[in-house]
Amino acid sequence: MLNFEFCYQSKFNILAHQSQYNPIMKKIVQILGIFVLFMAVTAAGNKRVSNGSCSNTEAKIKAIDSLDTYFYASSKISSINYTYKTSVKEVEVPLFKGEKYRMVFNRQDLPKNVEVEIYDKSRESDGRTLLYSSKTEGNGSTILTYEPKRAKNLFINYVIPPAQGSDEIGCMVFVLGYQLTFVKNN
């Protein structure tokens, strides 16, 4: 496979060289230049998607930073596969009675935003209640935070939009923090 950056650089060089000899060429060069630029941007985007290896420590570090005063409990980096339809991936989070938690989601490694919904029961259960939705409470942010009012097992649903044209992949970083209240008391 040819190297993208080298190729695009080569295109610009060749086109620039041509434009020195003919003013009519300039217009063609301009049009082609815009086209090449568009291609480069699109390719860069696709590259980010196809390289969706879910071990990006930078995204996780940012999520951990957003825990603020909460102690890191654990993390789950989920591989997100965009298919031709909207799909849902569920993560069960065991939370313990009386504890205070903060959940942080980092969507920076996703080619298209995945919506985060949090329920009190699994998707197989009847009558579950939606406790949080990034659609209404996330303000389109890359990093989302949620602090459950009552600590009991919760079910996170990643609502994955359809891919455009072909399958795409990305990574959702989820970090859970808990409040270590006893430290001060001791």
In the complex, the smallest distance separating the C-beta of residue 92 from another protein, rounded to whole angstroms, is: 5
Interacting residue ranges for another protein, rule: CB under 8 A: 1-2, 4, 7-8, 10-11, 14-15, 18, 22, 24-25, 28, 32, 35-36, 39, 43, 46, 54-55, 57, 60, 64, 71-78, 83-94, 96-97, 99, 122-123, 152-153, 155, 159, 162, 165-167, 174, 176, 178, 180-183, 186
If the CB atoms of residues 146 and 174 are measured against another protein, the closer one turns out to be: 174
If the CB atoms of residues 137 and 167 are measured against another protein, the closer one turns out to be: 167
In the complex, the smallest distance separating the C-beta of residue 119 from another protein, rounded to whole angstroms, is: 11
In the complex, the smallest distance separating the C-beta of residue 134 from another protein, rounded to whole angstroms, is: 16
In the complex, the smallest distance separating the C-beta of residue 70 from another protein, rounded to whole angstroms, is: 10
If the CB atoms of residues 124 and 139 are measured against another protein, the closer one turns out to be: 124
Kindly state the tokens that stand for 17.
């060289």
Whether 180 contacts 101, CB under 8 Å? no
Residue type, 50: S
If the CB atoms of residues 11 and 62 are measured against another protein, the closer one turns out to be: 11
In the complex, the smallest distance separating the C-beta of residue 69 from another protein, rounded to whole angstroms, is: 12
For 27, residues 6+ apart whose C-beta sits below 8 A from its C-beta are none
For the chain, the DSSP string reads ---HHHHHHHHHHHHHHHHTT-HHHHHHHHHHHHHHHHHHHHHHHHHHHHT--S--HHHHHHHHHTTTTSEEEEEEEEEEEE-SS-EEEEEEE---TT--EEEEEE-TT-SSPPEEEEESS-TTSSS--EEEEHHHHSTT-SEEEE--SS-S-EEEEEEEPPPSSS-EEEEEEEEEEE--THHHH-
If the CB atoms of residues 84 and 141 are measured against another protein, the closer one turns out to be: 84
If the CB atoms of residues 139 and 149 are measured against another protein, the closer one turns out to be: 149
Kindly state the tokens that stand for 18.
């041509």
In the complex, the smallest distance separating the C-beta of residue 157 from another protein, rounded to whole angstroms, is: 9
